[in-house]
Structure 1
Amino acid sequence: MKRGWRWLGLSWAVLAIGTEAAQCFDRAAQSHRFVVDSHLHFQPFSGPALPHEELIGYLERAGIQYANVYGIGQTRIQDWGCFHGGRCDSDVIMPTMKNDFLNAKNLADHPSRNVGLTLSMTFPDLQHPDTIVDRMDILDSEFPGFFQWMGEANVVKQALFVWGHEPATLEDIDAWAPFMAKLRERQMPLALHSDFGNDQDPLKYLPLMQAILERYPDNVVVWMHLGMSREQRDMEPRQHTRILSELMDEYPNLWLDISWNVLYDYYFSEPTRRPFYVDFLNQYSDRVLTGTDIVASEHTGYSQYERALDDTSYINQFLDDNAFRNIALGQSYFNLLGWDKSAPAICTKE
């Protein structure tokens, strides 16, 4: 399906991977780094962001050709005002539209010449969904045609519990129906952070994602980080990939994201765990996206971005050619967005 959208970059054929789209990709001679960073936060949790054009410079230098422009799912209140008479110095974190306005304004003021950018609405408060449709309309009115994605939004993110975040409930998920209908109408993917569980209770929060998929099977849902987190460093890979496989088979609109170095640190870099994920990714690569998950604050240097890129690209070298083309060269990303673009074929051995 080809979606209407506002083009914010150049076509594949003139970008760095080759002079022509038909040119094959030589895995033996070229990098296994991915060229689509579909999970990149242009705005931080707190404090000033890295200047937009500087971050684009990082992407160009690293060979990234396409990127998703995320804000951040939740932001410290003290950075954007007081609400309902609360303290202005509160450390509570809440969703906000601020970052989406900033990202849209930056894209309008600084069109990218060498990196294709897809802009995402990251404001949704999934625990209080009644205002989401109205706020979507506000962003569309202010920046018509700019937003083609929604997320990363937090269903449950244990790392934020100390900041006041609470998991969505089944009742909350039922109340998503109006904005999920609008996403279906616009054919917009919804990227969700939803922890599987933790090392004490590996499947604790899995029922939340199962409920989402059961309730909204016609929505495209991208599950971030394969559901993993720093609270879950010891998920048994056979069980993990089996559950993911069952969900992928049952729900054809479920996509997965393998961003964030937590997957590299605890799963992909481990020789005894990696084969389970390589086999899984080879099987489902046409619905897998990748990215760095860098949060670009003013203190983020190029070396940090490059290290994250190396970590999150590490698994690519073990993939078969079809999966490498889908994931590392971006064909799955193009397909999800309905773009009439083709990643290079993999060069065959003579």
Structure 2
Amino acid sequence: MRRCFPFAILASLLAAGCASSDNTPANRSLDSFRGTSACYDRETEPYTSVVDTHLHYRPFDGLAIPFNEVNEYLSRTTVRFANVYGIGQMLPANSSCSNYLKCPGTPVSPTIRNDFVNAANMLEYKPDDLHLTLSMTFTDLSNPEPTIELMKLYEKEYPGMFHWMGEVNLVKQAQFNNRHKPATPKDITKWAGFMAELRARDYPITIHSDIGNDASPTLYLPLMEQALALYPENKIVWAHMGLSYEQKSMKASEHIAILSRLLDQYPNLMLDISWRILEDYYFSKSAYRPQYVAFINQYSDRILPGSDFVAFRDNSFKVYQQELEVTSRIHQYLDDNAFRNIALGENYFKLLNLDYQAPQICSK
């Protein structure tokens, strides 16, 4: 395992481990990614990501951590680049529920509310020390017809500000008790219009699509396979490598075989390794970790990091710091090429055609 900091300052680290403490010299500035910079020393610098591609600035109920406060969280860690996700599926505005999992029967419905709040906040509070990418999260994949007109509305109200779509739900079992229904094969054929618009704009789309569950490991896989087959030219990011709390015991070999087959078949497919379920139930297992490390090293140019932090008002910097650290732990074991592509953001910069570059890894 690689160390995160020299021994002399190990005592200053938080119990969370290698998540950066405030103002550590190892935290690089945004400007340091604009051109050639000092090489990245993996023995002395953190393994936590410089990019958080899966970060929900807005929660399900509208009671959010203020925009500036979330940005402050990022600035206190290694993160300098982030996707500004809302959450497109919100609880009713008049509901007293704040956690849909505790309110079965309460609908969680697609809406534009969170995205517009994010855009307004971006206009008013755009930070100088972070690069933020606004994402449209409103799309209802089971009712796609209104999507293009809503995209036009976004462009009218906030021209040139949105550059991503997602996270949007193809199938999310966690919300089945809140009236979410998976998109059907017929629904997926109706995505053609807005998927063409995404291609024209060169926007990626992040899709949450559970592979299956512990009782039926590949129950929903055909839905994602159909989406990939119908829209192979779209930049599709598969959230959480297709896993969920409903699927905590899939064999690593089976999971990796599915992902490898689809990555080989669809060159525009990418995966995100956000959400701590991956570390807690898969990456951290001693029998599984070498398999996932080999897989990630092999497909290192097809993978994006993310915390999946949700800015509920009761969350805090310590929660974000922990989620960033947990979802970054796998980086310690990656080879230098994979570490640069994923943790240091090179894949993200290329995907969005950004004028930034990841530092080279220092030679030993």
TM-score (norm 1): 0.91
Q: Would you say 1:237 and 2:252 are equivalent positions?
A: yes
Unaligned runs of 5+ in 2: 1-26, 96-104
The residue matched to 2:76 in structure 1 has which SS? helix
TM superposition shift of 1:275: 1.1
Structure-2 residue corresponding to 1:143: 158
Q: Would you say 1:115 and 2:115 are equivalent positions?
A: no
Please tell me whether the aligned partners of residues 234 and 268 of structure 2 are also in contact (alpha carbons under 8 angstroms): yes
Structure-2 residue corresponding to 1:258: 273
Change in Cα spacing, 1:333 to 1:56, as seen in structure 2 (3 Å) is same
Change in Cα spacing, 1:230 to 1:121, as seen in structure 2 (3 Å) is same
* Alignment match of 1:288 (pick from 300, 303, 325): 303
Q: Would you say 1:297 and 2:312 are equivalent positions?
A: yes
Write out aligned runs for 1:1-350 (5 A). Answer: 14-15=29-30, 21-79=36-94, 91-349=106-364
TM superposition shift of 1:19: 9.8
TM superposition shift of 1:339: 1.6
TM superposition shift of 1:15: 2.6
Change in Cα spacing, 1:190 to 1:79, as seen in structure 2 (3 Å) is farther
CA distance in structure 2 between the aligned counterparts of 1:300 and 1:289, rounded to whole angstroms: 24
Moved over 4 A (4+): 16-20
CA distance in structure 1 between the aligned counterparts of 2:111 and 2:234, rounded to whole angstroms: 23
Deviations 1:313-349 (CA, angstroms, capped at 9, x unpaired): 0000000000000000000000100123210000011
Please tell me whether the aligned partners of residues 51 and 306 of structure 2 are also in contact (alpha carbons under 8 angstroms): yes
Please tell me whether the aligned partners of residues 26 and 347 of structure 1 are also in contact (alpha carbons under 8 angstroms): yes
The residue matched to 1:68 in structure 2 has which SS? strand
Aligned residues: CA RMSD:
1.6
CA distance in structure 2 between the aligned counterparts of 1:315 and 1:17, rounded to whole angstroms: 24
Please tell me whether the aligned partners of residues 14 and 20 of structure 1 are also in contact (alpha carbons under 8 angstroms): no
TM-score (norm 2): 0.88
Change in Cα spacing, 1:19 to 1:130, as seen in structure 2 (3 Å) is closer
CA distance in structure 2 between the aligned counterparts of 1:210 and 1:19, rounded to whole angstroms: 37
Please tell me whether the aligned partners of residues 65 and 311 of structure 2 are also in contact (alpha carbons under 8 angstroms): yes
TM superposition shift of 1:16: 7.6
